Structure 1
């Protein structure tokens, strides 16, 4: 019989024994966090590239990212049902293979080239990432004591940030650096032949991504991951009737918190290159601006490592409140300052955004007990908030790119509200358990 380990730490196992037991699994899961962060942020260098190739305005450009995040809304519930049917391990494998198919499709879209096929393939990749999110986030959150769940997920999400930090360098070199639009001054008009040649620069990077995803899927398929305990399965129908997700305040307000936070994070990341390239900000080429994007994501990685340590000693909700205040201040500076000050304040928001998603997520599922899987699916569905970045694109087109960052500042205020009041649990249920498995 497998040993059942309580997430509250009440079993006979010590914390050290638990860490040894789950360490290899968490290390492997960290590689998933790295890959989906890497692939998501390739979009930030891809968007200015596609803007030039297809001659898009800001609204059309942000529509690309909106399609990406609509996938989270569409695929979250089917992902939860798939996990229930085939298990967490095989769901991770399927998610990686779906992403690989999308990456291969991006090579096709670049060969044609086609704006419509590009949108479709990005939707496919995002659907695969959604499946990984629904499976991996709650898994990491319940491995260990609930009071350190935010710290643990922030630590693993730091590897996600490592992927987001390296992706701009990858994209700047292999996409923007190999294209005419990426190496020319802002406002340069490209010929039809130059635009078609630029489209081809996407083929190599997505080919490399597809290979890595397939290899990772094979590794996970052969790895003995611990399984979710029986109490983490969906509750029997009769028992389920007496439980309600909507009685948990931290989840009810956590869903819009994730939704609204994603508007802020994605808006900053997607419009960063265009913003800092402006003559009155930093006057850079898109390739140069793409390299500065590394500092934005690097700040998120540093913030998550630091946040993981801070939350070992301080209440996660209080830490979230402090970071949301910092984010609001720097976004107000970005909205009204000029020159390097505006650029560096926008970069600095990455540090303050760092802990927001993992901390909101763990606060949102706290006390859900056997409803954790369903609650996690709803929180991941809320990532669809990134689709509303198109609203910021519309503001940028009609009122100016810099003014559009006031929307980001407003989003930070809701996160502050959630940290101070909305995250307080109500009707908490017993903690979840995991059942380790022995390697074959």
Structure 2
């Protein structure tokens, strides 16, 4: 693959940069998808309602909106490489915040730690995603991001299993009803179990800071395209503005599919509700593998986006119309294995992972195409779209409490419809008035 380096650098192999970025994307996934297990866990530990428990997604993802532009300013001063190291350092602070949070079982402390973690991830994502786009030919950018997605969602598969093994392994019955029956002392002891895993996570982040800081990771810069000389600001690029809205819709759907599936399973009385996020992540990994194989050889980034939106619409209809008393679909798909089957609506929630897997890698190169010197600003704007993960799950939670968790998934339908619009028309717009 080609690379775009600073003028005083010689072209280098992209193997080492891709390896380091892969480690960072693993951390993205591990920290992000831990929320899917934390939400039902903290609901019990801190005695929360479903709506209150979803503050986890609100504070974690709202950090992307608040800190995206400051992150772009930081990167403009430090460069991508140093910016990644600073992002990891902020994450260390957020991780250590979980120690007093777990010791006191204080929900506000947990939320503070999550916001700080989200801030660190904002810096990392603002640097890492455009880095991947610029690192090689734009036609294969979605393939490179898909590779990172496999690593990211692979972490999402692992983390619920690790969480259950470290925190819940010796409890026997881990249903929400059984956990709620524990005494105050038992709940505190359960909360204390979070301390050691987060200490280990802080140590791993410190190691990554050293790796990034002292590695041969090259500094890159976006090409300065002449056709943008008539543009005075990022708001003059419709493909970026609409791309940020599409990412807002996508991340909201992604978080709903990954972080509410445990709550949904808990409401249906499933005993393995803390591991259900893994089902969604497995489907996402399958989607990313398809992206690596098919893009751009067999499938363009545009058509990958169209396919994702269409399958997502099918999943939404499947969730709200299928019976929670039947597990017929998962029995057909994997009933011959030792993997636990799930009710049909839960299956469709997990399948949403496959539906939207290629949205993120497809939108980034389409939205950043032609930005030139505005690439850093465009990246920050796209990162702000991650706030969909803060707001849309809260809407889901409000509907779930006033109606039921199954019908609340209707909130994702408009999201897939907008993604379909962006795939068909939005990404091609180069002016607000043609």
Bin of the TM-score, shorter chain as denominator length: 0.7 to 0.9
Q: Which residue pairs with 2:270 in the alignment?
A: 284
Displacement of 1:166 after TM fit? 1.0
Matched ranges for 1:100-139 at <5 A: 100-139=92-131
Instruction: Give the one of 171, 180, 183 matched to 2:163.
Output: 171
Residue 211 of structure 2 is matched in structure 1 by 219
Encode CA deviations 1:240-290: one digit per residue, 9 max, x unaligned: 7743323322112101101111111111222111212334xxx322xx223
Tell me how far 1:52 sits from its aligned partner.
0.3
Counterparts of 1:165 and 1:223, CA distance in 2: 28
Q: Deviations over 1:317-369 (max 9, x none)?
A: 11111111111111211112123211211111111111111211221111111
Task: Tell me which residue corresponds to 2:410.
Answer: 406
Distance 1:418 1:165 in 2: 29
Query: Pairwise mapping of residues 359-378 of structure 1 onto structure 2 (< 5 A)?
Result: 359-378=362-381
Alignment: residue pair count: 405
Query: Which of 388, 399, 418 is residue 395 of structure 1 equivalent to?
Result: 399
Pick the aligned partner of 2:247 from 258, 261, 272: 258
Pairing 1:77-226 to 2, within 5 Å after superposition: 77-177=69-169, 182=174, 185=177, 188-226=180-218
Cα distance in 2, alignment partners of residues 143 and 195 from structure 1: 48
- Report the counterpart of residue 70 of structure 1 in structure 2: 62
Conserved in 2, the CA contact under 8 Å of 1:333 and 1:345?
yes
1:179-220 CA distances to partner (integer Å, 9 max, x unpaired)? Answer: 688456468433322222221121122111111111111111
CA contact (8 A) 1:179 1:197 kept: no
Contact kept in structure 2, 1:181 and 1:190, CA below 8 Å: no
| Aligned residue in 1 for 2:349 | 346
- Superposed displacement of residue 231, structure 1: 4.2
Q: Deviations over 1:121-166 (max 9, x none)?
A: 1100110000000000000011111111112212222211111111
Relative distance call for 1:57 and 1:230 in structure 2 (3 A) is closer
Equivalent of 2:46, from 51, 54, 57?
A: 54
Do the aligned partners of residues 36 and 205 (structure 1) sit closer, same or farther apart at CA in structure 2, a change above 3 Å counting? same
In structure 2, relative to structure 1, the CA distance for the partners of 1:324 and 1:246 (3 Å cut) is: same
Structure 2 CA distance, aligned partners of 1:242 and 1:40? 36
Q: Answer with 184-193 or 365-374: which moved more.
A: 184-193
Specify which of 317, 321, 336 is matched with residue 332 of structure 1: 317
Where 2:407 maps in the other structure, the secondary structure is: coil
Q: What is the DSSP-based 3-state SS (H/G/I as helix, E as strand, rest coil) of the residue aligned with 1:404?
A: helix
Q: Distance in 2 between matches of 1:361 and 1:5?
A: 17
Which one of the candidate residues 363, 385, 390 is aligned to 2:388? 385
Contact 1:49 1:182 in 2 (8 A): no
Residue aligning to 1:309: 293
Distance 1:181 1:65, change over 3 A: farther
Q: Distance in 2 between matches of 1:186 and 1:243?
A: 59
- For the residues of structure 2 that align with 1:216 and 1:256, how far apart are their CA atoms? 32
**TM score, norm. by length of structure 1:** 0.87
* Equivalent position of 2:330 in the other structure: none
Residue of structure 2 in register with 1:13 after alignment: none
**Residue 272 (1) aligns with residue 261 (2):** yes
Provide the TM-score with structure 2 as the length reference.
Answer: 0.88
Q: Deviation at 1:176?
A: 3.8
- Structure 2 residue corresponding to 1:32, chosen from 24, 44, 57: 24
CA shift at 1:373, angstroms?
Answer: 0.8
Select which of 417, 422, 427 maps to 2:426. 422
Gaps of 5+ in 2: 326-342
Question: RMSD of the TM alignment (CA)?
Answer: 2.3
- Find the aligned partners of 2:178 and 2:129 in 1 and give their Cα distance: 40
Q: Aligned partners of 2:318, 2:260: CA distance in 1, in Å?
A: 16
Q: Distance in 1 between matches of 2:212 and 2:256?
A: 33
Determine if the alignment matches structure 1 residue 294 to structure 2 residue 278.
yes
Residue 196 of structure 1: SS of its match in structure 2? helix
With over 3 angstroms needed to count, the CA separation of the structure-2 counterparts of 1:182 and 1:100, relative to structure 1, is: farther
Runs of at least 5 residues in structure 1 that lack an aligned partner in the other structure: 8-16, 428-440
| Distance (whole Å) between structure 1 residues aligned to residue 252 and residue 3 of structure 2 | 37
